[in-house]
Amino acid sequence: GNSVTQMEGPVTLSEEAFLTINCTYTATGYPSLFWYVQYPGEGLQLLLKATKADDKGSNKGFEATYRKETTSFHLEKGSVQVSDSAVYFCALSRRDTGRRALTFGSGTRLQVQP
């Protein structure tokens, strides 16, 4: 079956530090990959996506590259801000079946200190 594994949190960084949140996946077929962010008390917001191997998704300074050879989709940001404090979820969606439901990782809490 499909699964997504994320690094354990919380991740605590100082403002302007470099961020990496690891995500690896297991899937049959050819999944699309997503990062969602959940701010306290809110729903999930799409952060970025990639739909095929070597695609790079980017948004708001965050980037992630779809690596088929390592089955990874690590999230990176060069300089984090306090406002980036949230829970980040890596997710996949199968493309080769009619089932489009997202399979999520367990989430990684990021805390950025001033």
Please give the residue ranges that form the binding site for other proteins (CB under 8 A): 31-32, 34, 36, 42-46, 49, 51, 89, 93-95, 98-104, 106-107
Sign, Cα dihedral of 84, 53, 30, 26 = negative
Q: Smallest distance, Å, CB 54 to other proteins?
A: 15
Nearer to other proteins, 3 or 14 (CB): 3
Nearer to other proteins, 32 or 77 (CB): 32
Q: Smallest distance, Å, CB 57 to other proteins?
A: 10
Strand positions, DSSP E, the chain: 3-6, 11-14, 19-21, 23-26, 32-38, 44-50, 56-59, 62-65, 75-77, 86-93, 103-104, 108-113
